């Protein structure tokens, strides 16, 4: 409705485009008795108009629509409502500082004085026209063109009468006249491929019951010394339902089983491979098209909220893989969104990933910065996540990542660092910690970039933790060798201590190490038969849990899965009936319980004073031994790793007299070993060794790690 003058007559004009309407009337929505004006059909497609004289100002009205066959409905005209975004919202968005833009762009259920509907808003600054299309208008972009909100580049429209469950997309006409059908970048729920339409969904309707968990998490904010043993999972292949066409578990089916298993195994957190919507199963979730939407594969967004809530009720934290490093080229998603390179760089030297065939965000564009920052916050706010593990950080940090000379553009100082991406990471980490105290951010960063887990005010990126990729590669390289040649690779075991305290490290054996022909962890071990491979793996795990740093293990590794990980099949749970596999699982369980119950092992992960080599130079013995000590040195653990193929007695210097009790022996029969060990422990003797005035004489079975705890009396 608009004020209008025709000749000498003043009034208002109303136009409406309604598909399939036989007649339409404009009805005064507040007049008593009701007053109506019939509209004149101007075009067979359903364009109607009426000029109402003697009403010079717009008024609240409805459209009464008569359909062939006699049905009648009354609706409010979408174009009679003011925009749902204010000038301040748009200013902050264009400036890059609107932290809650996810509550304003996208599709949201609204109530305007009792009139309910859905408000739609999308950023498409170069579009010539943007329309909302869906089943409600036969996917015809002529019926609901959106209003341009000026220089902001945002298009907006409130459509009354729509509700939850409506499918929709944005039809965008670019400046060249081409049409493209795009899904909502801020969509919260999507239908399956091939249509990939967004679905209106109320993400705030779930009733949470984890207030005590969140309060406890808030109270522990900044405490990096808390135990953290993470079970990394891919939800689609952790367990499947063979009796139901081998389908994966839903969010609601998986949560109780995962919680039971993690509690039994002693894991403190799960880390889930990306659950944001993605069209291709084989990407494992790392090629995201719906950044704000839990994938439809396992249920609704409400089901995912239930999943997190249930795990919290069982004391298990939930960390999600977050992927701001790239996005796929799918034509229905972000790529060339409004006919221009909107979210990505136009120059392929900056905007295209050479390895993955994907596109790189333009981190220097304010609105893209807003999109990514709001995305991180939305996952924490809407789904109460306890952490974000940020994927492929190295690819964000370096402009020449996986590029040859001439394939990249230096920064303004001539360097290779991506200054905009660095600024974004600092910005996101700061916002997450500000709005959600206790939520942790973890970087998968595979280079030696300095200060990844240091505060921005100290020149760092602001992450809480960083994956220790160097330790992982060195250690696996050592264990992949046959015991007879390991003496030549002792440096692989010891080099990591030179930089161990440069960052807040998580020791990891992740999904990346058990795919693409790399073999499972079990089959990486340098041995000829399963029993020896299992012994190697047990020794490796006890060394990992004794070594400083938080812990992460990918699913299947805890019971020595034989096959590489397959994203479209269940783990081989039947293997746990065999001692070589079940023994590994029982050991991981006991290592977790030791780690989480002993502050000396978990609370000193980032304290250099807590670690001391006992011996690390005897390469011929394939042996390392080190001490983990509490701050007051009242609690001491000696970890002795013997990775040779034969048994031996060996004297190791220790800092205290007393009894050193054997608390873990990976050669125990209980874990599938031979049972050879130290009969419960060893008493220190006054025989100097390794710079100490006393020592213990330990029996070292082959391929075994033994953990001793000091006590004053035997």
Instruction: Return the H-helix or E-strand segment holding 61.
Output: strand 61-66
What is the pLDDT of the chain when averaged over all its residues?
Answer: 96
For residue 33, is the peptide bond before it cis, meaning its omega torsion is within 30 degrees of 0? yes
* Gap between the Cα atoms of 538 and 667, Å rounded: 8
* Gap between the Cα atoms of 460 and 586, Å rounded: 39
* Gap between the Cα atoms of 560 and 628, Å rounded: 27
Q: Is the dihedral of CA 189, 379, 251, 513 positive or negative?
A: positive
Catalytic residue, chosen from 391, 420, 532, 590, is: 391
**Confidence label for 33 from pLDDT (cuts 50, 70 and 90):** confident
Asked whether 686 and 648 are in contact (CB, 8 A), the reply is: no
Query: 48 pairs with which residues across the strands?
Result: 16, 41
Domain ranges of the chain: 2-80, 87-199, 606-711
Output the pTM of the full model. 0.95
> Whose structure tokens read 């921005």?
456
In this structure, which topology does domain 606-711 adopt according to CATH? Answer: Immunoglobulin-like (2.60.40)
Strand-strand pairing, 115-123 and 106-112: antiparallel
- 34 or 524: which leads in pLDDT: 524
**554 closest CA partner among 530, 577, 588, 598:** 588
pLDDT value at position 658?
Answer: 95
CA angle (272, 274, 275) in 5-degree steps = 90
* Gap between the Cα atoms of 487 and 232, Å rounded: 32
CA angle (314, 285, 253) in 5-degree steps = 35
Assigned superfamily of 2-80: Immunoglobulins (2.60.40.10)
Query: Does the annotation mark 444 as catalytic?
Result: yes
Question: Helix 366-383 vs helix 301-313: angle between axes, to the nearest 10 degrees?
Answer: 60
Query: Does the annotation mark 391 as catalytic?
Result: yes
Residues 6 or more apart whose Cβ sits within 8 Å of residue 597: none
- Specify the 3-state DSSP secondary structure of 413: coil
Average pLDDT score over residue span 655-682? 96
Asked whether 231 and 610 are in contact (CB, 8 A), the reply is: no
- DSSP output for 433-480: HHHSTT-EEEE---S--TTTTS-GGGTS---SEEE-HHHHHHHHHHHT
Q: What are 379-431's pLDDT values in tens digits?
A: 999 999 999 999 999 999 999 999 999 999 999 999 999 999 999 999 999 99
CA angle (591, 596, 597) in 5-degree steps = 100
With a pLDDT cut of 70, the percent of the chain lying above it is 100
E strand spans, 224-350 = 229-233, 240-241, 247-248, 269-272, 276-277, 290-294, 317-322
Statement: residue 583 has pLDDT above 80: yes
In this structure, which topology does domain 87-199 adopt according to CATH? Answer: Immunoglobulin-like (2.60.40)
Catalytic residue, chosen from 184, 444, 464, 474, is: 444
**180 closest CA partner among 330, 280, 320, 372:** 330
CA 121 from centroid of its chain's CA atoms: 25
pLDDT value at position 19?
Answer: 82
Q: What are 431-489's pLDDT values in tens digits?
A: 999 999 999 999 999 999 999 999 999 999 999 999 999 999 999 999 999 999 999 99
């Amino acid at each position: 409705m608009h004020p209008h003058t025709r000749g000498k007559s003043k009034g208002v004009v109303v136009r409406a485009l309604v598909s399939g309407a036989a007649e339409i009337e404009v009805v005064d929505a507040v007049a008593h008795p009701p007053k109506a004006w019939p509209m004149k059909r101007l075009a067979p497609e359903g364009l109607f108009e009426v000029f109402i004289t003697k009403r010079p100002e717009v008024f609240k009205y409805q459209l009464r629509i008569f359909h062939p066959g006699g049905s009648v409905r009354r609706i409010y005209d979408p174009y009679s409502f003011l925009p749902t975004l204010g000038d301040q919202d748009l200013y902050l968005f264009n400036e890059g500082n609107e932290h809650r833009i996810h509550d304003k762009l996208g599709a949201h259920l609204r109530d305007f004085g009792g009139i309910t509907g859905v408000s739609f808003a999308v950023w498409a600054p170069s579009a010539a026209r943007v329309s909302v299309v869906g089943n409600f208008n036969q996917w015809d972009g002529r019926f609901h063109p959106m209003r341009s909100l000026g220089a902001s580049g945002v298009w907006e429209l409130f459509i009354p009468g729509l509700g939850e469950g409506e499918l929709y997309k944005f039809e965008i006409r670019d400046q060249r006249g081409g049409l493209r059908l795009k899904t909502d970048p801020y969509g919260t729920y999507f239908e399956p491929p091939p249509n990939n339409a967004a679905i209106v969904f109320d993400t705030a309707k779930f009733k949470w019951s984890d207030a005590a968990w969140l309060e406890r998490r808030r109270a522990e904010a900044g405490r990096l010394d808390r135990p953290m043993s993470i079970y990394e999972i891919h939800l689609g292949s952790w367990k499947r339902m063979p009796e139901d066409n081998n389908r994966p578990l839903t969010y609601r089916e998986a949560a109780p089983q995962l919680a039971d298993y993690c509690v039994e195994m002693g894991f403190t957190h799960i880390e889930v491979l990306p659950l944001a919507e993605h069209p291709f199963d084989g990407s494992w979730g790392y090629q995201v098209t719906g950044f704000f939407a839990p994938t439809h594969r396992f249920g609704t967004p409400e089901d995912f909220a239930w999943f997190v809530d249930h795990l919290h009720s069982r004391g298990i934290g939930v960390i999600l893989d977050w992927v701001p490093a790239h996005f796929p080229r799918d034509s229905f998603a972000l790529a060339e969104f409004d006919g221009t390179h909107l979210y990505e760089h136009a120059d392929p030297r900056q905007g295209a990933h050479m390895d993955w065939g994907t596109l790189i965000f333009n981190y220097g564009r304010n609105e893209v910065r807003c999109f990514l920052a709001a995305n991180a916050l939305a996952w924490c706010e809407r789904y109460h996540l306890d952490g974000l593990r940020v994927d492929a950080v190295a690819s964000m940090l370096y402009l020449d990542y996986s590029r040859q000379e001439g394939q990249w553009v230096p920064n303004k100082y001539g360097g290779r660092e991506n200054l905009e991406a660095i600024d974004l990471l600092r910005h996101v980490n700061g916002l997450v910690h500000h709005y959600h105290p206790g939520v942790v951010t973890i970087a998968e960063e595979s280079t030696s970039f300095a200060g990844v887990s240091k505060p921005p005010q100290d020149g760092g990126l602001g992450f809480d933790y960083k994956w220790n990729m160097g330790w992982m590669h060195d250690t696996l390289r050592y264990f992949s060798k046959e015991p007879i040649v390991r003496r030549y690779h002792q440096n692989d075991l010891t080099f990591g201590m030179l930089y161990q305290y440069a960052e807040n490290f998580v020791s990891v054996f992740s999904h990346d190490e058990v795919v693409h022909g790399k073999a499972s962890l079990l089959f990486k071990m340098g041995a000829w038969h399963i029993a020896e491979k299992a012994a190697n793996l047990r020794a490796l795990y006890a060394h990992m849990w004794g070594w400083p740093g938080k812990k992460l293990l990918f699913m299947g590794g805890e019971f020595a899965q034989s096959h590489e990980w397959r994203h479209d099949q269940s783990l081989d749970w039947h293997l746990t009936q065999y001692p070589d596999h079940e023994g590994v699982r029982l050991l991981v369980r006991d290592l977790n319980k030791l780690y989480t119950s002993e502050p000396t092992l978990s609370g000193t992960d980032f304290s250099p004073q807590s670690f001391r080599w006992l011996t690390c130079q005897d390469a011929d013995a394939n042996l390392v031994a080190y001490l983990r000590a509490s701050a007051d040195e009242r609690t001491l653990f000696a970890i002795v790793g013997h990775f040779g193929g034969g048994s031996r007695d060996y004297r190791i210097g220790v800092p205290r007299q007393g009894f050193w009790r054997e608390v873990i022996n990976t050669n125990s029969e209980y874990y599938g070993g031979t049972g050879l060990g130290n009969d419960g422990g060893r008493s220190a003797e006054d025989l100097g060794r390794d710079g100490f005035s006393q020592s213990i004489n330990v029996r070292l079975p082959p391929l075994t790690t033994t953990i001793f705890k000091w006590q004053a009396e035997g």
